[in-house]
Homo-oligomer: A and B are copies of this chain.
Amino acid sequence: MKLLEERIRKDGVVKPGEILKVDSFLNHQMDVDLFNKLGEEFKRLFADRPVNKILTIEASGIGIACVTAQHFHVPVVFAKKAKSVNLDGEMYTTKIESFTHKRTYDVIVAKKFLSEEDHVLIIDDFLANGCAVNGLIDLIMSAGATVEGVGIVIEKGFQQGGRILRQKGIRVESLAIIESMDDRTGEIVFRQ
């Protein structure tokens, strides 16, 4: 998506360790007018899918998921990072490893918010090694619900998450895919 690539070039900062900082518009300060255009694009891309629920994970996925959901007129459910999992049987749980925080989280969704009838679109801000998305898919499968697709704002194409998901036959639509980036020059190359 041209508009997003231009914004990443303008405001994104490449840091050592394959980190792209986009905290001025995506995941700390959030440009909701931009989010609205991204949401519209997700709706266009997944218009053929019978989506009745959007699933994301706290915290930085929630904003883009909610704005996107307005274009689908469906509710959003966000998976919660739990300190301690309450094993009372009311929750679906999985484990997700965080690339940014170098730790593993227990992640939960209340059973009452995911069921066999649900056709779920996963929305998240970043896709890198795919741990978060795989965890969300795991939660959807536990509920017997259907994964209709995965909508990502920025995919790090040089990491394996997107490739593995697509190989599994999951439809992944990323609005910008970064082929390579260089923290010395700041150069960012997008996949065409």
Contacts and interface: CB of A to CB of B under 8 A. Distances in A.
A172 to B, nearest CB: 23
The CB with the most chain B CB atoms within 10 A, among A59, A80, A112, is that of A59
Interface in A59-110: 59, 62-63, 65-67, 69-70, 73-78, 80, 83, 101, 109-110
A126 interface: no
Given A28-B80, A62-B62, A83-B101, A23 B70 contact: no
Interface of A: 23-25, 28-33, 35-36, 58-59, 62-63, 65-67, 69-70, 73-78, 80, 83, 101, 109-110, 112-113
Given A28-B110, A30-B76, A59-B78, 11 more contacts: A23-B113, A24-B112, A24-B113, A29-B110, A30-B75, A30-B77, A32-B75, A35-B66, A58-B58, A63-B63, A66-B66
